[in-house]
């Protein structure tokens, strides 16, 4: 009887230890996803106005129309580059006010 009791206690202890060890090692990693809003100082980038370039375009010759369209495309590209530069500066450094002062956007 003492052998049966000893085996029962041994099996019980081993089972209890294995259950407690498995409960401790089965921790799950939980990822928390949040939207992060970056606060940047407002920069006055002039908007490219389409009306300024396409006003009275019907009266122009074909080469003059092409020249106006190219000037409009260049103005849009300059505006886009300025916005991208501002966005890069805002996201790469938390101290955006000092970084913004070093760029050409505040001219």
d(CA 100, CA 105): 7
Could you give the number of structural domains in the chain? Answer: 1
Please give the span between the terminal C-alpha atoms of the chain, in angstroms, as a whole number.
Answer: 95
For 1-19, the pLDDT digits (tens) are 677 887 888 788 888 777 7
For 37-89, the pLDDT digits (tens) are 656 777 888 899 999 888 888 899 999 999 999 999 999 999 999 989 888 88
d(CA 5, CA 72): 93
Q: Which domain holds residue 82?
A: 2-106
Residue 93, helix vs strand vs coil: coil
């Amino acid at each position: 009887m003492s052998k049966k009791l000893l085996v029962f206690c041994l099996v019980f202890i081993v089972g209890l230890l294995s259950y407690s060890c498995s409960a401790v090692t089965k921790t799950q990693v939980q990822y928390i996803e949040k939207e992060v809003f970056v606060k940047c100082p407002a920069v006055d980038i002039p908007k490219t106005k389409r009306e300024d370039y396409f006003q009275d375009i019907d009266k122009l010759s074909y080469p003059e129309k092409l020249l106006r369209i190219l000037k409009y495309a260049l103005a849009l590209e300059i505006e886009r580059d300025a916005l991208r530069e501002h966005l890069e500066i805002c996201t790469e450094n938390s101290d955006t006010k000092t970084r913004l002062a070093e760029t050409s956007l505040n001219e």
